[in-house]
Amino acid sequence: MENTTQLLLRQSDAMSGREVLVVDANDGALTSLDVDARMHIHADDFTIGAQQWAPLPSIPEAVDLLILPLPKSGDRLRFLLNGLAGQIVQPMEIWLVGPAKGGIKGALKHFDSHVDHSELVDSARHCKLYRGMLQPGAAQQLKAWGEVISVDELEAVSYPGVFSHGRLDEGSRLLLDAMAEHNLPRPGKVVDVGCGAGVLSILLARQGWQVQAMDVSATAVAACKASLERNGLQGQVCGGDLFSPVSGRVNMVVTNPPFHDRRLRTTDITRRLIEEAPSHLKEGGEMWLVANRELPYAQWLDDAFSHVQVAAETNRFRVYRAVV
């Protein structure tokens, strides 16, 4: 259980008898919180198992309290506050909870621009909880929050909360350049794991690959779909945990995997990805992976694949090409 969730449990009396919507839940424990309240859970993260998996939640009619765990980025916070304000016609109580050293003090400027009478309610476990009355605002559309990223002669669409929002990150650029410089297999089926805004997917779809893209983030799934549509390209995009949506074997896997799980640095996700990838690849199939060069992926790749090479590298990133 996250520290922020434990802090919320200290406010169980204040939640008693209420209809509560948790927005952008960041802890699976929130789906079974032991409080005397009717809880509605929204999450962008597929692995949370929320009732609502979507870029932005819908506020159920009876809800009278919103709880917002602090998102990782200010853009995401502004997007959510505007989206929530656009769904109400009268002020509604909202709580903002987050780690004291995770940027919550800086986030208050965004919070205070949407609420009246914000106040610090509780502070414990290195976290803080603020309360205010969210004021109604203009209705929001996801498309209005999109930013366009130039990818060679194509364009990807990014939304707040998507990895590397609004820009083509250095690792993905290196991966694209490395694949362009090497002889890839003849276009067949490819899986883009952790597709984000769809930067890799649109380039591969243009080359004739049958793209299946996936991400745990509902906002990333929406962005990747928008990117394919913007360029008149075809591809299947879905939510899931790593390879869970994949059926059958494919010719290639491409990925710029995360090394953070929410706010925590971790290599567990990529280790699972590397270990599971060969069982989803056809004989002779390839996986292309880009990562920060100090991360310990080379040994894991050697253990899982028959042949591994470094296809490109800089002083920050390394691109691996692994063959089953």
pLDDT, one tens digit per residue, over 113-146 is 999 989 999 999 999 999 999 999 999 999 999 9
Q: Could you read off the pLDDT of 66-79 as tens digits, one per residue?
A: 999 999 999 999 99
Residue 293 has pLDDT above 60, yes or no: yes
Long-range contacts of 136-143 (CB under 8 A, 24+ apart): 136/85, 136/86, 136/88, 136/89, 136/90, 136/91, 137/82, 137/85, 137/86, 138/82, 138/85, 138/86, 139/86, 139/87, 140/56, 140/79, 140/82, 140/83, 140/86, 142/55, 142/56, 142/222, 143/226
Task: Indicate the class that CATH gives domain 3-140.
Answer: alpha beta
Q: What pLDDT band is residue 267 in, cutting at 50, 70 and 90?
A: confident
Measure the CA–CA gap between 173 and 176, rounded to whole angstroms.
5
Regarding beta strands 236-239 and 260-261, do their DSSP bridges make them parallel or antiparallel, or are they unpaired?
Answer: unpaired
Regarding beta strands 38-43 and 52-53, do their DSSP bridges make them parallel or antiparallel, or are they unpaired?
Answer: parallel
Q: What percentage of the chain reaches a pLDDT higher than 90?
A: 91
Measure the CA–CA gap between 250 and 120, rounded to whole angstroms.
52
pLDDT recorded at residue 265: 57
Q: Could you read off the pLDDT of 16-58 as tens digits, one per residue?
A: 999 999 999 999 999 999 999 999 999 999 999 999 999 999 9
Q: What pLDDT band is residue 258 in, cutting at 50, 70 and 90?
A: confident
Angle at 240 between CA 143 and CA 226, to 5 degrees: 20
Q: Could you read off the pLDDT of 151-210 as tens digits, one per residue?
A: 999 999 999 999 999 999 999 999 999 999 998 989 999 999 999 999 999 999 999 999
pLDDT recorded at residue 260: 45
pLDDT recorded at residue 247: 87
Residue with tokens 């270990």: 275
Q: What percentage of the chain reaches a pLDDT higher than 70?
A: 98
Intervals of CATH 3.40.50.150 along the chain: 3-140, 143-323
The SS3 assignment for 48 reads: helix
Q: Token pair of 185, please?
A: 């297999």
Residue 60 has pLDDT above 70, yes or no: yes
Residue 264 has pLDDT above 70, yes or no: no
Q: What pLDDT band is residue 311 in, cutting at 50, 70 and 90?
A: very high
pLDDT recorded at residue 117: 84
Contact at 8 Å (CB) between 216 and 154? no
Q: What number of other Cβ atoms are within 10 A of residue 275's Cβ? A: 13
Residue 101 has pLDDT above 90, yes or no: no
Q: Hey, which CATH number is domain 143-323, 3.30.1490.190, 2.40.50.100, 3.40.50.150, 3.40.250.10?
A: 3.40.50.150
Give the pLDDT mean for 284-293: 96
